A and B are shown apart, each in its own frame.
Chain A
Amino acid sequence: MSTISENIHRLINKKIDGELTEAEARRFDDLLSDDEKVRTYYRQMEMLDHSLQEAGKEKETADVSREVMEYVQQTGPDKKQSGKVRMQKRFLPPGQTVLRYAAVLIIGLLIGAASILFLRPETVFVDEGDMRATMTARSGQSLNIRQEDWHLQINPMVMNEAVILIASLQSESDLEVHMSFNPDIYQLVRTKSLKGDIERLPASNAGSVAFPATGDVMFQLVMNQRSGMTGPVQVSLLQDNRTIYQSEIFID
């Protein structure tokens, strides 16, 4: 259904929301009678709208008023402050506000400089024997799993709509690295061997890649991320077709 143009998509959305002008309604009717693809797309969008409306009708309730009011009674009103509730906001004279902003700016700059100079990527370590891990891929974070006979490290880089995973594996035995992801969200652009002998894989719509890996290898996986969507990348290590390690990397 990717052939539906932006204009038709907008027109269908306006129709669903009941916001078509008379001229747009005529154009919409013409399109609907002329084009089977538009009819199918409209039917699907209408069904989606209906399902969302139905889902919205399910309502649950919770009563937290007692707990909240208990807190309110314990903390407010502060009698020492002329019977007024103690509020967090403090109003400062303009001069003091400027000084405060300047101080915040200077501290921010110092922290920024310090993080460039001294901070190293945050590392997610996994306890020995723990064969599962999840991590959130943010700038400067890495997954680092060291076991007796293998060491896996994954450094993700998340840019606008591209995800780059650089993985290095040192292993004494023959292992296989599997990475899988939702192909509706991520499209493999390429894989590249950075160290060792790993076959280069071209762009594909498949939702997984696998490499045999022995010794000291490093490879790069480049994927496009569909705008507005996110999902985990699953990483597994296999030995003799048996999964010996699994982790999930959430792209943030």
Chain B
Amino acid sequence: MQEDEYTLIKNVQTGRTRDYEILVKRYQGAVYNLLLKMLYRPEAAEELTQEVFIKAYENLGSFNYKSRFFSWIYRMAINTAISYRKKEKRYVHPDKLPDMKDNQTEATIMVNERDKLLKHAISLLKENYSAVIMLKYYEALSYEEIAEVLEIPEKKVRSRLYDARRMLQIHLEKSDYFK
């Protein structure tokens, strides 16, 4: 996969730009999901996904072949989401997310409430902690891959994840999440 991606990137760099579509199609779903989980706004997530891939194309000349394409594009997506949240202050607070359906059962409502509590707790974390949670749980990346995306040592990824879990546990315990 990595060799194949390096070939695709080289092809794009030397003018075979249609190969870029293979990379976009391979990672657009993952990038969109990551942005959606960070911003809670489908339109903004879609718009930024497009922006991330355009930015990546424009900067493909600086791709150094030391990291993998996915970690490079994820890093770009995380930074884009962080700047968007800081600049726009427009992300929807999880408490204000619309309920999915009108005819929800009591059990579904409880699950949705718990889901909102969890999302709210994640939204209170600083970006360097929430990014680790997103990459570990939402993108199912290994510690090694998270370290590559965030450009930090694997040991630091572990300690950030442990701290993030503790912060979430403290917050959720006070919200009666575990009862």
A interface footprint on B8-43 (CB within 8 Å = 1, 0 otherwise): 000011110110110011001100110010000010
On chain A, which size bracket covers the interface?
35 or more
Closest to A230 in B: B126
On chain B, which size bracket covers the interface?
35 or more
A185 in contact with B162 (CB, 8 Å): no
- How far apart are the CA atoms of A1 and B166 in the complex, in Å? 10
Q: Main SS of the interface on chain B? A: helix
Shortest CB-to-CB span from A49 to chain B, Å, is 7
- How far apart are the CA atoms of A47 and B179 in the complex, in Å? 11
- How far apart are the CA atoms of A185 and B126 in the complex, in Å? 11
- Best-buried of B18, B49, B165 by chain A (most CB within 10 Å): B165
Shortest CB-to-CB span from B57 to chain A, Å, is 6
* Interface status of B167 (Cβ within 8 A of chain A): yes
- How far apart are the CA atoms of A136 and B138 in the complex, in Å? 28
A88 in contact with B59 (CB, 8 Å): yes
- Best-buried of A1, A49, A68, A252 by chain B (most CB within 10 Å): A68
Contacts of B158 in A (CB 8 A): 13
Contacts of A227 in B (CB 8 A): 163
- How far apart are the CA atoms of A14 and B136 in the complex, in Å? 14
Closest to B30 in A: A59
Interface residues of A (CB under 8 A from B): 1-2, 9-10, 13, 16, 41, 43-45, 47-49, 51-53, 55-56, 59-65, 67-69, 71-73, 75-77, 83-85, 87-89, 134, 136, 182, 184-185, 226-231, 250, 252
A13-B162, A55-B119, A228-B129 given; name 10 further pairs at CB < 8 Å: A13-B158, A43-B178, A48-B172, A49-B165, A51-B118, A56-B138, A61-B32, A62-B28, A88-B61, A88-B62
